[in-house]
Amino acid sequence: MADAHDPASAHDPANFPPFAVTVDLVVLTVRDGTLHVLLVERGCQPFAGRRALPGGFVRPEEDLPDAARRELREETGVEALPAHLEQLATYGTPGRDPRMRVVSVAYLVLAPDLPVPRAGTDAAFAEWAPAGPLLAGADEATGQGRLAFDHARILADGVDRARAKLEYTPLATTFCPQRFTIAELRRVYEAVWGCRLDPRNFHRKITGTPEFVVEAGSTTTRGGGRPAQLYRAGPAGWLIPPLLRQRPGSGQ
Amino acid sequence: MADAHDPASAHDPANFPPFAVTVDLVVLTVRDGTLHVLLVERGCQPFAGRRALPGGFVRPEEDLPDAARRELREETGVEALPAHLEQLATYGTPGRDPRMRVVSVAYLVLAPDLPVPRAGTDAAFAEWAPAGPLLAGADEATGQGRLAFDHARILADGVDRARAKLEYTPLATTFCPQRFTIAELRRVYEAVWGCRLDPRNFHRKITGTPEFVVEAGSTTTRGGGRPAQLYRAGPAGWLIPPLLRQRPGSGQ
DNA sequence: TCAAAAGTGTTGAATGTACACCCATGG
DNA sequence: CCATGGGTGTACATTCAACACTTTTGA
């Protein structure tokens, strides 16, 4: 087949027009029993005034995860973050940024309920927003409150990943403070999955999985009722067999 | 904090030095009962003469999955491929390509046992190589037969993803020809996971999952013994509950 | 004393695992 | 007839789901 590219020059990267590379962050937390996502209001074009995922350009000598951590620090003011960070996916469709060809590597962050983030240098302000309404409108045309760029899709992919990972990893503990009760952990699952779980069976499943959580040695009565044992996240990396999502419960 | 970047120029992508963006392909198949990966021998610098994953630079107006499909077509000569293609992960550590800053989006392809691939335009030749030895040496220093760049790590990530996905998706069928027997499908699982599965229970599990496979209406005696029913891949997207890997069996 | 929440016991259903057994073909 | 591999029946162990019940606090 006739190749439009001359083979000699096709192998020299200097002959290709430049791409810009950015990182975008899907930062999730659980507040008041529902899933929230960290958003910024864009302070400059394009999409000025619209809400977007935090993120920015990768620097020339910066590794991708370092860029993600830097952007997160700039938006939240948190230095040593007790959060989980993993690569989500990469989005590079031509035209997704009207300025030029931009390839964006998205990262997923699961964090405990951090203090209200301060405004970063790149954004007019930052805030926690409930994820539900943003997911519901992900496939609509770009309406008033819609996210900039293709961020609604990135957010949907991030929430899907988080929901799936709760099934077979102990990542739900990263949504909790360092010491937490089994009931608090259960409320994380209920918030992320949007369903009810049986408190008794959940308690047995979690405490019955070796190394999933370890007793912290003290109790708390926050929330009222009988004092609950406090736990820390354990060293287990996988939950086998997985914890299965059930259909929305009959009660409530 | 003092930011080394001037905020005004930090938002203009034209002020950032260019990145090159490539796609790399982890193409897996099952041949002779073992997992194989498609490799090319590099025909130009850097790493000339070393084996590598097929891949190449993304063109200016080309979407990422299109670039992956184009590179696969150029290496294998297959136009309409009956294979599964999904994004794997993105690798962008500074220095991974000695020429310049290159961010590579890796794609995972699961394919049936295709005819021997022809040499592509970008490679001296292409061949199927057993995956096992390449995985075993993934953490060694770059020895003689080692892969170029960080491709050993990308390959390991791809094989991990494939192994995990067989558990809860019907993707094993993409390793098979269009019409296959349950035993042939079982041999795919055994090759990818490197363990033995009980033929009776496997048969029941597969045929008992609605929409996972559908009868093709004919039988075959390839392999000898009683004629086996032929099946096609069904419309099911998920395998619930998942098929669990067992430890290497006692027999054999 | 009551309400609320933590934690335990028990039971029937469903599922996974192991393996005996029969079926259909080629040699 | 026998070897080979496809496909089915059955029994045991394990796990899950539902819910009654007890424990321990605050009001």
Residue A190, pLDDT score: 94
A144 or A252, higher pLDDT:
A144
Structural domain of A193: 169-233
Is residue A126 located within the same domain as residue A224? no
Residue A16, pLDDT score: 56
Per residue in B182-200, pLDDT tens?
Answer: 999 999 999 999 989 999 9
Q: Which helix (H) or strand (E) holds A183?
A: helix A182-193
Is residue A134 located within the same domain as residue A174? no
Residue A123, pLDDT score: 54
Is residue B157 located within the same domain as residue B33? yes
A1 or B86, higher pLDDT:
B86
Residues of chain B neighbouring A60 (CB-CB closer than 8 A): 16-17, 94, 101
Tokens 């800053």 locate to B101
Distance from residue B205 (CA) to nucleotide D10 (C1'), in Å? 16
For all residues of chain B together, what is the average pLDDT? Answer: 84
Residue B88, pLDDT score: 98
Where residue A146 falls among pLDDT bands split at 50, 70, 90?
confident
Pick the last residue of a domain from B119, B136, B165: B165
Tell me the C-alpha distance between B248 and B252, whole Å.
Answer: 9
List the beta strands (DSSP E) in A92-186. 102-110, 123-130
Q: What is the CATH number of the domain that holds B199?
A: 1.10.10.10
Is residue B27 located within the same domain as residue B109? yes
Interchain proximity A105–B92, CB inside 8 Å: yes
Is residue B214 located within the same domain as residue B181? yes
Per residue in B150-165, pLDDT tens?
Answer: 999 999 999 999 999 9
Is the confidence at residue B252, as pLDDT, over 80? no
Per residue in A45-61, pLDDT tens?
Answer: 788 889 999 999 999 99
Q: What is the CATH number of the domain that holds A136?
A: 3.90.79.10
Highest-pLDDT range among A62-71, A110-119, B129-138, B218-227: A62-71
Is residue A195 located within the same domain as residue A158? no
Is residue B158 located within the same domain as residue B80? yes
C-alpha dihedral sign at B241, B173, B66, A64: positive
Cα radius of gyration rounded to whole Å, chain B = 21
Is residue A117 located within the same domain as residue A217? no
Residue A91, pLDDT score: 98
What percent of chain B is modeled with pLDDT above 70?
81
From A16's Cα to the closest Cα of chain B, the distance in A is 8
Is the confidence at residue A137, as pLDDT, over 90? no
Interchain proximity B63–A92, CB inside 8 Å: yes
Contact by Cβ (8 Å): A40, A168 = no
Closest CA to A73 of A7, A20, A27, A19: A27
Interface of B with A in 119-178 (CB under 8 A): 121-122
Closest CA to A110 of A165, A63, A167: A165
Is residue B187 located within the same domain as residue B214? yes
Per residue in A163-181, pLDDT tens?
Answer: 999 999 999 999 999 999 9
Is the confidence at residue B16, as pLDDT, over 90? no
pTM of the model: 0.89
The structural domain count of chain A equals 2
Q: Is residue A5 part of a domain?
A: no
Interchain proximity A57–B89, CB inside 8 Å: no
